[in-house]
Amino acid sequence: MKYIYGLVLLSLIHCACTDDSYLIDIDRSLLKNYGEIQRDTLYAVADSTFIGGKVYTGGSTKLFLGSYGGYQARFLIKFSTLPPDTVVIDTMRLLMRTQSNLGDSTSNINGTIYRVTKTWTDSVNLDSTWDLTSSIDYSAATSLDFNISSVDSAELVFNLPLGLVDIWRDTTTAGQQNFGLLFDFNQAEQIIKLYSRESATIASVPKLVYIYRTLSADTEKVVYDTVYASLDAALIDFDGSLDPHTIYVGGGYSIYSFVKFDLSVIPVNAYLSMANFYFNKDIEKSITNAKDDQKIYLRDVTTGFDELPYYMIDSTFNYNIYYNLVLTEETDNQLSLSNLRSGGAGQKFLQSIINGQISCGSFYLEHLYKDDDLILYAIEGVQNSGVNLRPSMVVEYYLSPKSRL
């Protein structure tokens, strides 16, 4: 079992107030005046996972292709710049670069590149009216079958059918304009991640190379004309089976969770010196890649939350937008939250607890890059029969003299 843990280390007074002045640093040399530190473990009393649906992918730095763990990924790409009509193209090469793969299989991905016949935008993944099956040309003259190996960080070269050029350049016939290409998979047991047009490295941006010849003064010259992608977007679907004993946080598809703790066990006027969050990660049910950023937002929920029906979407909740605590997977075994002290985000976070703003003890878990990565974290939930595997919150505090009277 891998572990996800978050550590919050602050010094504050736990009291029912709204004045930030009550949040102070405690001189630990004075602990002898306040008695022994109390340590309590709070196990989550409720949790829920919500499937929010598709996300915007037009601004992502990645494109995805394949099938794994309930995810199916395809992508659209377009090159607006075309060579002059007078040029006869000899070769047309599409160059792309992969950055990683997702899944256990080492088998290749078989698929087909199709000509797109309908217009689309960078928000096409959110467009329920855009139908994939009726928006592509299945004819062999404009399609290309491919076989991609599961090698990380490799350059892919696709020699596209030359029939595409004449169709793209012909704007006189209805339905014959340049709407780009669709990459689809026929057989896949994994998903490859490719760089998109938003890549920070120009060498990794998808490019189309036109190779043609020109004749000048009886001298033939070979010309390589390179253009970069002007539009791309991933098409991502999810139909995976989620275990009700587990909570999930996903990227590439909006999947997020809530966890609730009973904070009433912390005595009023106690000095809260530390709060740790612990989450157990289920390796077998998770879909992650060690090469990618593994970061999850931990936010407090500012409206009431109880044990909501599993997987039901509820748009009425609010969460604190003024700060975000980030759980980061620093090793292969842990997600951790760096130490926070009074002041800044840490002050606001625990101030919310002592002010009673998290009176229901609810927290919201969301992937930091849900619009830019395809990932699924599985975390042992409240329904797990092993209590030690459930989400827990460990608090340390000592009682002030007044509270011990």
The DSSP secondary structure of 105-122, one letter per residue, reads --SPEEEEEEEE-S---T
Same domain? 203 vs 92: yes
What pLDDT is stored for residue 26 in this prediction? 40
Same domain? 217 vs 343: no
What pLDDT is stored for residue 66 in this prediction? 92
| Two tokens, residue 229 | 């992608």
Distance of CA 110 to the CA centre of its chain: 25
What pLDDT is stored for residue 393 in this prediction? 81
Check residue 2 and report its DSSP letter: E
Domain boundary residue, one of 213, 238, 263: 238
β-pair partners for 396: 39, 274
β-pair partners for 96: 156
Same domain? 31 vs 75: no
Same domain? 157 vs 177: yes
Q: In the chain, how many H helices and how many E strands?
A: 2, 25
The reply to whether 247 falls in a domain is: no
Same domain? 95 vs 38: no
Domain boundary residue, one of 203, 238, 273: 238
What pLDDT is stored for residue 331 in this prediction? 53
Residue in the structure block whose two tokens are 């290309």: 144
Same domain? 72 vs 220: yes
Same domain? 276 vs 334: yes
User: Torsion angle of alpha carbons 368, 374, 376, 377, nearest 10°?
Assistant: -40
Same domain? 178 vs 228: yes
pLDDT tens digits in sequence order for the chain, 405 residues long: 433 433 333 332 232 233 332 333 344 444 445 567 778 888 988 888 888 889 999 999 999 999 998 899 999 999 998 888 778 899 999 999 998 888 766 778 999 999 999 999 999 999 999 999 999 999 999 999 999 886 666 899 999 999 998 888 876 765 558 999 999 999 888 899 999 999 999 999 999 999 988 767 677 788 899 999 999 999 999 988 888 889 999 888 888 888 888 877 777 766 666 677 778 888 888 887 766 666 788 777 665 555 444 334 445 555 554 445 666 655 554 454 544 444 444 455 655 665 666 655 778 888 877 778 888 888 888 888 788 888 888 777 777 655 433
Same domain? 257 vs 193: no
Same domain? 48 vs 93: no
Q: What residue numbers bound the domain in which 144 lies? A: 62-238
Q: β-pairing, 362-367 with 254-260?
A: antiparallel
Domain count, the chain: 2
Name the helix (H) or strand (E) containing 71.
Answer: strand 71-78
What pLDDT is stored for residue 234 in this prediction? 96
203 Rama sector, left if φ>0, alpha if ψ -120 to 50, beta otherwise:
alpha
**pTM (two decimals):** 0.79
What pLDDT is stored for residue 28 in this prediction? 46
Residues ≥6 apart with Cβ < 8 Å to 117 = 135, 136, 137, 175, 179
The reply to whether 172 falls in a domain is: yes
Same domain? 220 vs 292: no
Same domain? 345 vs 387: yes
